[in-house]
Amino acid sequence: MIRIATPADVPVIHQLIRDLAEYEKALDEVRATPEQLHEALFGPRPAAYAHIAETDSGEVAGFALWFLNFSTWRGVHGIYLEDLYVRPELRGGGHGKALLTELARLCVARGYERLEWSVLNWNKPSIDFYESLGARPQDEWTVYRLTDEALKGLGS
């Protein structure tokens, strides 16, 4: 049901990213191209990794795209899950749980001590799902982000 993504999966990963952005009401913010995804996932220095969830018939049900982070407090790597998405018509089939289980398995096997991600505050179905697996919100932290003109202004 879960497998490591291959270069042939880039088009479907790109489409699923667009589907996720549409679900999150932010499709206009997606700028990534299939070529960029290919380079990030399969270039000479991969910056991210992906797993694919498939149905029994081999249909792509969803994906998880992640990268390594590092905890200065724990002194080890962890996984930051950038995107987790299962097609709406295939939700409830265990694909999301299987993707998270695989990432948790990787953490345990490699000695990583954290599996982290962000979820939109309004996305109650996802929050309920994550909490059912034992995940807990980190309410004492607020995510900050520099992008576009603010990033260019500070970096210039």
Q: How far apart are CA 51 and CA 45, in angstroms?
A: 18
Work out whether the CA dihedral 50, 70, 145, 119 comes out positive or negative.
positive
Helix (H) or strand (E) holding 85: strand 76-86
Residue 117 host element (H or E)? strand 115-117
Q: Is 130 a catalytic residue?
A: yes
Specify the DSSP class assigned to residue 139: T
Q: Which of 49, 85, 112, 130 is catalytic?
A: 130
Residues noted as catalytic? 130
